[in-house]
Amino acid sequence: MFAQKASYIAVSVGADIRNSITGSAPTNNKSAFDGIDQIHFVGANVELGMGFEHFPQLKFCRMFGSLGYHFPLYAYPFGNEIKTTFVPSLECSMITRNVTENYTYKGVQYTEESKRGFMAIGLNLAAQWQLNDSFAVQLATNILPRPDIAFLYGDNKTVISNYFKILYTFNKN
């Protein structure tokens, strides 16, 4: 059964599931922390989100804004209420990467570290389970074209990441 329209503010913290457990090719398949922090503004089931992802091992940061819609569902197995909310969203990301460049100027070899910024538009799909009035857990999938990988390695790639998040909700109506 569909629920009433929700309005609230929430904050969430989470981590990339695969990188936290088994790592990935860029981390030589070694576990590495890839964290994500986000604030969610929800009104009439429309969500405006702003967040920050930080992956220190890869010198990768991503700031993003997202716009999505909440599709809440209620189930009552054995008389207990379970609220599940599906949240598809569109996001705009600004990825920053530290880049080391080697060059020669007037016969002298130089190494320079700089930051580069890359814009990308991606898609998200989250499944959220409300534990009580204040806390929820969320599994979120992010599909993001990665222009930073194309710039650094010449590989045009779209990356799919899965995050586990814990949300704290306040100002709930």
Q: What is the pLDDT of residues 80-108, one digit of tens each?
A: 888 899 999 999 999 999 888 888 888 98
Helix H segments across 50-144? none
- Region 45-56: what's the mean pLDDT? 96
DSSP structural state of residue 77: G
Reported as half-sphere exposure (CB side, CA atoms, 13 A), residue 71 has a value of 7
> How much is the pTM?
0.86
Architecture of domain 8-91+121-144+158-170: Beta Barrel (2.40)
Please state which of the ranges 2-6, 32-36, 98-102 shows the lowest mean pLDDT.
2-6
Average pLDDT of the chain is: 92
79 pLDDT more than 50? yes
Note the pLDDT of residue 1.
Answer: 41
